Structure 1
């Protein structure tokens, strides 16, 4: 319902002058319907009751005429041609899923066992489920008690969040308390680093009454919405949380009901934020009204309603149809860019790349289809920040780091406030430094790995003598190595000590992470 209301409020047409065609359509409809509605005049020289009995096809009683279906079809096609829209086209080069900052309360009260095994453990499980279903989206984690601390920045890696969550207990927090306002400020600072609009989710069991007034205040336009997931039995909702708007408070459930509600709320906020982003193009939805007009065409074949001029119209369309071997019926109704978008929606990126004529979308589809060299060449022809950014991303995927650095620098020259380009520029420079240092350390100058039985040359110690890297029996049969999951589990204890030390330092210095 919220999505429908948001779309209705944003509805407008991109080509309003096309609506002028509605005037002659209305005049034509009124004139023809008026003529058909008069009916036939009663014959003279015969009794009225006999005339009614002998008259066949009394059109005066007909309520619906063929012109009604034709007019409705023409109205829908006119609206389609005017470019109706109610949503923006997300930038495929940036994240299309809203980032989320999860703020977890870590206090003694969260260790209550009324939600087995405890409120805190159930909250952790629910957060992990949320991160898993948001695959590909960025999620950050903040913990608070008497103080608030950033545990993990916005990341797409669920393993990082999983290891951090396991290590978080009340023991790692410097002070006991309820610094919800400080946690909110920290969450907003984290979201400010992303140009993609997002939301904030508090996972807690209770809230101070003073903080409830601030957290439940109406959200300013453009600000991230604040949602609450209550880790407490459903029949014991705290009074402070009960005062918050019903649309933003969700009680933790045993199934995915709470997660579905959170997804809907976050998606609604994301759509609303996109509607206000003037940098994004409006999504032309004329095809929707075109499909609505198609069933009305079928009424032309109703007995008595067939349009005599429909044959002439069909002949004209056929004469103007493409004659190339590639042309088919779909070319009559959809432009190449519309066909490319349909292929994009079905994730047929190679086909979409051959269909798009829009230069930006053609470059994007070349990139998504793995044709990085062609994508970089195509982006290089675009003198825009987005084009330079896309060129840099294509060069990085093709392991061409120096051209990528130059492309990101160009993007920042064209648009200095381009955080994504700034971040990827730093990443490209770091990768280049690492690659060059690795090559300098190798004898051959090649960036190659060394296997278990590879011959290497120790020029420093043995002046080029042949040596062979030896491994233990456990390493040779693979039992001496740990998987990433095993390694992450082995450092859980150390991770808790690390977090406690870092939180204490932040509290002592009063600095932000």
Structure 2
């Protein structure tokens, strides 16, 4: 039903081609009927003996099959669509922010081993199911706090997830609306619409009104870590359009959560017209209708030309779902690469893509940052240079990343993504330089030092760093977080949350 609600044609004007096809079919049927009319000067019994195929008018002719195939290909060219379109530079799964409830009730043992531990297990399983998907983490009780910005590296997120406990929260309570505001702010900085998942055992009834009034920031769902869904959660789900799913011992609950989020995202994409062209599906029945043409005595004639005109351009063809062998016959290299990319085979996708920018995107996913940057270097577009900067920063070449982001802004001064990444890269480079200077005050800091390539510090070279409540965080800062923590993650988070709560209390 979700697919039917989102169904549309991306190029509806192409459907006008059905009118001449229908007229041609009617004309040929009329001519066939006229040709089979009785001949008055021949006796009926002699006419029956001399006529071959007298009932042909009631059967499907080769031309009927051809026109049917042409009609199907016209529908394919019109661009039927009902699901969100993928992009090589956007993760195949939308960005997801998980808001974990750390109120005291989450320590309950009615869900083994505890509600909180079960919640952590489900979050780990969800991250694994979304392999390659960007995930952020927010914790909330009486206040809401950012644990980890959106990242596609679970090795950075999981240690902090394990450290979460009700004891680290500065205030008791369950203010889910604050977590919604924080999560929506994270998603607002993303290029694609994302989702918010609340993992909780209940909702404060007085907080429901905040959901009804506020914006959702994207698709929303809730995984209820409790034996039963409380009545107030059902009211929350109804009034705030949040699909509530009860926790299960298997992965059925995670499947239900992903379907709920996908449904909401598909409806939003349909409303915005950002859907994937699935016209290739009509090529399969059209091909089956073409098969009878090869029977002896059947001529293609004008039909072959007509079908060729009805075929959609190759760039719009998409044959996902057919075997890889057949795909090699009908798909472009970029279409084959997209299939491999969607299946998380990033190295194979990089070797298959013909488009250099798409190839570089797959190489970034595969961790081949230096090679990806080399491919993007000669492409003088803002998007290419921005992605080149991302590759260099992920490869720990922060100065090279800064140069790439500056090049992107020269090409497009309004590129907000490049501007944000440039700011992050500069702050990381400044942080690393400060840590290096603190370790060795006598280090030569001449004017040429800023022009040198600065790599990350390793081993015991790092120094303690203070992260204040007003620190601006992003995915690129996640590694800085990890290297700045010289104590247990739980102690670090407890201190940080306390600073943030105190700062918020002083704010006017």
Mark yes or no: TM-score above 0.5.
Answer: yes
Alignment partner for residue 297 of structure 1, among 290, 293, 299? 290
2:66 is aligned with 1:74: no
- The Cα shift of 1:51 comes to 5.6
Q: Which runs of 5+ in 1 are unaligned?
A: 318-328, 450-487
1-structure distance, mates of 2:145, 2:60: 69
Alignment partner for residue 224 of structure 2, among 210, 230, 235? 230
Q: Which structure 2 residues correspond to residues 439-478 of structure 1 after superposition, within 5 A?
A: none
1-structure distance, mates of 2:370, 2:352: 15
Relative to structure 1, the CA distance from residue 294 to residue 140 in structure 2 (aligned partners, 3 Å threshold; closer, same or farther) is same
Relative to structure 1, the CA distance from residue 166 to residue 400 in structure 2 (aligned partners, 3 Å threshold; closer, same or farther) is closer
Relative to structure 1, the CA distance from residue 166 to residue 133 in structure 2 (aligned partners, 3 Å threshold; closer, same or farther) is same
1-structure distance, mates of 2:186, 2:35: 73
Task: Name the counterpart of 1:307.
Answer: 299
2-structure distance, mates of 1:171, 1:367: 39
- The Cα shift of 1:260 comes to 0.7
Task: Name the counterpart of 1:385.
Answer: 382
Task: Name the counterpart of 1:151.
Answer: 147
Q: Which runs of 5+ in 2 are unaligned?
A: 310-324, 342-347, 445-451, 457-481
Instruction: Give the secondary structure class of the aligned counterpart of 1:408.
Output: helix
Alignment partner for residue 342 of structure 1, among 336, 339, 346? 336
Task: Name the counterpart of 1:161.
Answer: 157
2:205 is aligned with 1:170: no
- The Cα shift of 1:115 comes to 0.9
1-structure distance, mates of 2:40, 2:337: 66
8 Å Cα contact 2:333/2:352 also seen in 1: yes
2-structure distance, mates of 1:51, 1:184: 82
2-structure distance, mates of 1:493, 1:366: 34
Task: Name the counterpart of 2:196.
Answer: 200
Q: Which structure 2 residues correspond to residues 87-102 of structure 1 after superposition, within 5 A?
A: 89-102=85-98
- The Cα shift of 1:13 comes to 1.1
Task: Name the counterpart of 1:479.
Answer: none
- The Cα shift of 1:255 comes to 0.4
Structure 1 vs Structure 2 CA RMSD: 4.6
Relative to structure 1, the CA distance from residue 140 to residue 238 in structure 2 (aligned partners, 3 Å threshold; closer, same or farther) is same
Relative to structure 1, the CA distance from residue 41 to residue 124 in structure 2 (aligned partners, 3 Å threshold; closer, same or farther) is closer
- The Cα shift of 1:238 comes to 0.9
- The Cα shift of 1:200 comes to 1.1
2:507 is aligned with 1:510: no
2-structure distance, mates of 1:195, 1:446: 29
- The Cα shift of 1:507 comes to 2.3
- The Cα shift of 1:144 comes to 2.0
8 Å Cα contact 2:32/2:57 also seen in 1: no
Task: Name the counterpart of 2:466.
Answer: none
Task: Name the counterpart of 2:120.
Answer: 124
2-structure distance, mates of 1:299, 1:352: 35
- The Cα shift of 1:69 comes to 0.6
2-structure distance, mates of 1:423, 1:34: 67
8 Å Cα contact 1:376/1:390 also seen in 2: no
Relative to structure 1, the CA distance from residue 290 to residue 176 in structure 2 (aligned partners, 3 Å threshold; closer, same or farther) is same
- The Cα shift of 1:164 comes to 2.3
8 Å Cα contact 1:350/1:366 also seen in 2: yes
Instruction: Give the secondary structure class of the aligned counterpart of 2:488.
Output: helix
8 Å Cα contact 2:225/2:246 also seen in 1: yes
Task: Name the counterpart of 1:241.
Answer: 233
2-structure distance, mates of 1:363, 1:159: 23
What is the CA deviation profile of residues 350-392 of structure 1, one whole-angstrom value per residue up to 9, with x for unaligned ones? 5544x44xx755765787795966864665343x321321343
Instruction: Give the secondary structure class of the aligned counterpart of 1:98.
Output: coil
2-structure distance, mates of 1:162, 1:397: 19
Task: Name the counterpart of 2:110.
Answer: 114
Instruction: Give the secondary structure class of the aligned counterpart of 1:346.
Output: helix
8 Å Cα contact 2:293/2:300 also seen in 1: no
2:262 is aligned with 1:267: yes
Alignment partner for residue 130 of structure 2, among 104, 114, 134? 134
- The Cα shift of 1:100 comes to 1.5
2-structure distance, mates of 1:493, 1:381: 44
Relative to structure 1, the CA distance from residue 268 to residue 218 in structure 2 (aligned partners, 3 Å threshold; closer, same or farther) is farther
Q: Which structure 2 residues correspond to residues 365-444 of structure 1 after superposition, within 5 A?
A: 376=374, 380-382=378-380, 384-393=381-390, 402-413=399-410, 414-419=412-417, 422-423=420-421, 426-427=424-425, 430=428, 434=432
What is the CA deviation profile of residues 63-107 of structure 1, one whole-angstrom value per residue up to 9, with x for unaligned ones? 422221111122233344455555665442344432222112222
2:7 is aligned with 1:12: no
2-structure distance, mates of 1:307, 1:344: 38
8 Å Cα contact 1:380/1:391 also seen in 2: no
8 Å Cα contact 1:198/1:269 also seen in 2: no
Task: Name the counterpart of 1:468.
Answer: none
Task: Name the counterpart of 1:258.
Answer: 253
8 Å Cα contact 2:376/2:385 also seen in 1: no
